[in-house]
Structure 1
Amino acid sequence: MYSSIKSFILKIVPRRLLFRYEYALRYFYYLFYKGTKYQCNLCRKELSNFVSLKNERLCPRCGSLQRTRRLYQIVNDGFLNPETEILHCSPSRSIYRVLKKQPHYLSSDLSENFWSDVSFDITKMDSADESFDLIIGYHILEHIKEDKKAMQELFRVLKFGGTCIIQTPFKEGDTYEDSTITAPEDREQHFGQSDHVRIYAVDGLQKRLEQAGFCVAVNEFTSDYTNTYGFSPNEKVLICKKPIQLSADQNFL
């Protein structure tokens, strides 16, 4: 039902106009889900349930997905303070509304499909070295052909001791990519989405990030029995640190 309503609205309402009034429009849909069993940690609304989609649980009020709520928990618990310089690549609107209240928050998107303050090409960013304390790159790298170049750029603009939070779709085994697969329908078949150019294995992505200079920890999350916030039951997030002291072979960056 939700997907059908969304598809219909997108056909008749210009995207920018929809973005502008989305939060107000969602209020009426949310009324059918008011309750006390669950809560969205982004908009703080209490719910009888989340909207069930294919492999997803969406907040009817703000539109947050499972992974977005988990991301906000990570960021809110460990990284937010008034001095934190944040770069957020292609943020979902649900988390953008919350993090935009931070005094030093900058969002970037090149596709014009997300709310953004600037339009950075992630492989060649218009930012000085060591500009940000925290960079969020959620479901970005699987879209980038030159992903290793993008990782080097993320490393360059991150401050020493800073953190980059990374997640993509993952598969078991080895990272799968093939530059000859270019048709949208073929990419969807091979990589899971028409605008994806690969699908990573966790250790494959970790290795590439480490080659770019990061110290990488793979955090694995599970949900408790009640799962009040509607998190994904099994989820991996890469926490990437820029060492305060670079080794000799990292100085080329």
Structure 2
Amino acid sequence: MLTVDFAKLPVGPGERVLDLGCGGGRHAFEVLRRGADVVAFDMDQSELDNVAAMFVAMDKAGEVPVGAGGETVKGTALDMPFEDGSFDRVIAAEVLEHIPDDMTAMAEIFRVLKPGGSAAVTVPSFLPERICWALDEDYHTAPGGHVRIYTLAELSAKLKSTGFEIGPHHHAHGLHAPYWWIKCAVGVGNDDHPLAKAYHELLVWDIMKRPPITRLAEQLLNPVIGKSVVLYVRKPA
């Protein structure tokens, strides 16, 4: 399930891409399939071990174009172990809302990006996130949870003040917002609640099958209740 639209953040052979806060590696895998070199970067070593194993499996399955490569690096977004201008593209998907000092993280993204390079930054959308916070305090107070709710204007202003040129944006995962509202209403840790389980099964079915009816529904819902907002920015040449 990708949040970033790679038509708006093109990646390809010969480019080096950083997947900041890669988690399970969904964007890193797509970058690798497109023939770019990708660095999956995260604080969680267990996540990185799984991503590294998938890189190997993809290579064995013939899914990695010749010349492309994937590696994993552990570290913090506040002090990344990379030289200035190391990457052509940076993806920061659902990361900044976890970081108290988000401006330092944005400055690090700017630093490691090459002049003229582009980044995709995604955070939870204001309205769906605000509803989740109102329904269940545990949603945002648990360790590692979200520490702020961004408006698009705030996110844009912070990235602009860091030095980025602000580009287009869109919303994603409109079908996922109701799932999280249900989860928060019944208790965010209550995975066995029948309603939460049923909606989760619907989402898995949608991800696997991608039927036209749910694709149309998500397209209509995204501008209104899309769970994530994606902003594309550029470091001036």
State the TM-score, normalizing by the size of structure 2: 0.59
Aligned to 1:216: 166
**Secondary structure of 2:45 counterpart:** coil
Does residue 110 of structure 2 align to residue 155 of structure 1? yes
Aligned to 1:40: none
**Secondary structure of 1:199 counterpart:** coil
In the superposition, relative to structure 1, how do residues 200 and 128 fare at CA in structure 2: closer, same or farther (>3 Å)?
same
Cα distance in structure 2, aligned partners of 1:188 and 1:169: 13
8 A Cα contact 2:12 2:36, kept in partner:
no
In the superposition, relative to structure 1, how do residues 149 and 187 fare at CA in structure 2: closer, same or farther (>3 Å)?
farther
Aligned to 2:234: 241
User: Which residues in structure 2 correspond to 1:103-252 (within 5 Å)?
Assistant: 103-112=36-45, 114-115=47-48, 117-171=72-126, 186=137, 188=139, 195-221=145-171, 226=213, 228=215, 231=218, 233-234=221-222, 235=226, 236-244=229-237
Q: 2:32 aligns with which of 67, 89, 100?
A: 100
Task: Compute the RMSD of aligned alpha carbons.
Answer: 3.0
**Secondary structure of 1:114 counterpart:** helix
Q: Deviations over 1:22-67 (max 9, x none)?
A: xxxxxxxxxxxxxxxxxxxxxxxxxxxxxxxxxxxxxxxxxx3xxx
Tell me, which stretches of 5 or more residues in structure 1 are unaligned? Answer: 1-63, 176-184, 245-253
In the superposition, relative to structure 1, how do residues 125 and 84 fare at CA in structure 2: closer, same or farther (>3 Å)?
same
Aligned to 1:31: none
Cα distance in structure 2, aligned partners of 1:113 and 1:205: 30
Q: Deviations over 1:64-101 (max 9, x none)?
A: 3xxx2x42xx2256512101110001223444333334
Tell me, which stretches of 5 or more residues in structure 2 are unaligned? Answer: 52-71, 131-135, 175-211
**Range with bigger deviation, 230-239 or 205-214:** 230-239
Report percent identity of matched pairs: 25
Q: Deviations over 1:150-203 (max 9, x none)?
A: 10010011001101100101215xx9xxxxxxxxx846257x996111111110
In the superposition, relative to structure 1, how do residues 113 and 145 fare at CA in structure 2: closer, same or farther (>3 Å)?
farther
In the superposition, relative to structure 1, how do residues 189 and 123 fare at CA in structure 2: closer, same or farther (>3 Å)?
closer
Cα distance in structure 1, aligned partners of 2:148 and 2:218: 25
In the superposition, relative to structure 1, how do residues 126 and 78 fare at CA in structure 2: closer, same or farther (>3 Å)?
closer
8 A Cα contact 1:136 1:165, kept in partner:
yes
8 A Cα contact 2:126 2:151, kept in partner:
yes
Cα distance in structure 2, aligned partners of 1:80 and 1:193: 34
Higher helix share: 2
